[in-house]
Structure 1
Amino acid sequence: RVMKLDLNDLLSYAKMVLDERDTWASVENFIDRNDDFVLWGAGSGGYEAKRAIEEKGKSIAYFVDSDIRKKGMVIGGKCVKHPSEISRIQNKVIISSHWFIEIARYLMQRFGLRFMEDFAYRPESLFRDGTGFRFVSCLEHNIDSFSEVLSILDDQASRETFYRVLKYRLFCFRPYLMGAQDLPFNSDSNRPFFSGRPYHYRNLVQPCPGDTVLDCGAFTGDNSVEFAEDVGMTGKVYAFEPCPRTFQCLKENILSLGLNGIVVPVMAAVSRVSGQLRFEMGDNPLGSRLAETGDIVVESVSLDDFVVEKEIKEVQFVKMDIEGAEMDALLGAKCTIKEYAPKMAICIYHQPGHLFLVPLLIKSLNKKYSLFVKHNSVFFNETCLFARCGG
Structure 2
Amino acid sequence: MAIATIGLSGNELTAALDGLFAEGEAGARDRQNVAYDLEAGLVKKPLVLFGAGQLGRITLAGLRRLGAEPIAFTDNNSQLWNTKVDGVQVLSPQEAARLHGNQAIFIVTIWRGKSADRMPDREAALRDLGCQHVMTFQPLFWKHPEIFLPHYAVDLPHKVHQEADKVRQAGQLWADDASRGEYLAQLRWRVLGDFNAMPDPVEHTIYFPLELCPLTDSEVFVDCGAFDGDSIQSFLEETKNNFTHIYGFEPDPANFAKLQEYVSLQPKRDSISVRRAAVGATAGVVTFSGEGSEASRVGKGDMAVDCVVLDEVLAGTQPTYIKMDIEGSELDALTGARGIIERRTPVLAICTYHLQDHLWKIPLLIKSFSDNYAFFLRPHLLEGWDLVTYAIPKHRLRPR
Shorter-normalised TM range: 0.7 to 0.9
2:3 — aligned with what? Answer: none
Instruction: Select which of 32, 36, 42 maps to 1:22.
Output: 32
Q: CA deviation at 1:62?
A: 5.2
More displaced stretch, 123-132 vs 10-19: 123-132
Query: Which of 215, 218, 243 is the aligned partner of 1:210?
Result: 218
Instruction: Using the TM superposition, give the Cα deviation of residue 373 of structure 1 relative to its aligned residue in structure 2, in angstroms.
Output: 0.5
Correspondence for 1:100: 119
Aligned to 1:189: none
Write the letter of the residue equivalent to 2:93: K
Q: Who is 1:169 aligned against? A: 190
In 1, distance between residues paired with 2:27 and 2:121?
A: 20
Contact kept, 8 Å, 2:247 with 2:274, in 1: the verdict is yes
How many residue pairs get matched?
A: 365
Q: Which amino acid aligns with 1:81?
A: P
Q: How does 1:1-391 map to 2 (within 5 A)?
A: 3=8, 4-5=12-13, 6-13=16-23, 18-20=28-30, 22=32, 36-41=46-51, 44-46=54-56, 49=59, 58-61=69-72, 63-65=74-76, 70=78, 73-76=81-84, 78-82=90-94, 88-98=101-111, 99-105=118-124, 111=130, 113-114=132-133, 125=148, 127-128=150-151, 130-131=153-154, 134-136=156-158, 138-172=159-193, 175=194, 180=196, 182-183=197-198, 185-186=199-200, 195-205=203-213, 207-231=215-239, 232-256=241-265, 260-273=269-282, 275-281=283-289, 283=291, 285-291=293-299, 295-308=302-315, 311-312=316-317, 314-390=318-394, 391=397
Tell me if structure 1 keeps the 8 A contact 2:51–2:74.
yes
Q: CA deviation at 1:163?
A: 0.9
Q: Which residue of 1 aligns with 2:115?
A: none
Contact 1:96 1:122 in 2 (8 A): no
Question: RMSD over aligned Cα, in angstroms?
Answer: 4.0
Residue 346 of structure 1 aligns to a residue in which SS? strand
TM-score by length of 1: 0.77
- Partner of 1:169, secondary structure, is helix
Following TM superposition, by how much is the alpha carbon of 1:128 offset from its aligned partner in structure 2, in angstroms? 4.2
Displacement after TM superposition at 1:119 (Å) = 11
**Which amino acid in 2 is paired with 1:92?**
I
**CA contact 1:281–1:294 (8 Å) conserved in 2:** yes
| Per-residue deviation, 1:346 | 0.9
Residue type at the aligned position of 1:254 = V
Paired residues of 1:195 and 1:376 also in contact (CA < 8 A): yes
Letter in 2 for 1:39: L
Counterpart of 1:226, as a letter, is S
**Secondary structure, counterpart of 1:12 in structure 2:** coil
The amino acid that maps onto 2:332 is D
CA distance in structure 2 between the partners assigned to 1:21 and 1:75 by the alignment:
37
Deviation per residue, 1:4-33 (Å, 9 max, x gap): 422121022476875456369959xx7xx9
**Structure 1 residue 254: deviation in Å?**
2.3
Q: Unaligned regions of 5+ residues in structure 2, if any?
A: 1-5, 112-117
Aligned counterparts of 1:41 and 1:194: Cα–Cα separation in 2? 27
User: Tell me, what secondary structure is at the counterpart of 2:269?
Assistant: coil
Q: Which amino acid aligns with 1:148?
A: Q
Residues 167 and 284 from structure 1, CA distance in 2 versus in 1: closer, same or farther, beyond 3 angstroms?
Answer: farther
Q: CA deviation at 1:218?
A: 0.9
Q: Which amino acid aligns with 1:9?
A: G
Q: Is the 8 A contact 2:229 2:263 kept in 1?
A: yes
Distance 1:15 1:256 in 2: 54
TM-score (normalizing by structure 2): 0.75
Is residue 279–residue 288 contact of structure 1 (8 Å, CA) maintained in 2?
no
Deviations 1:96-142 (A, max 9, x none): 2233233335556874735669996679956348546x232x32222
Secondary structure of the residue that 2:367 maps to in structure 1? helix
Deviation, structure 1 residue 359: 0.9
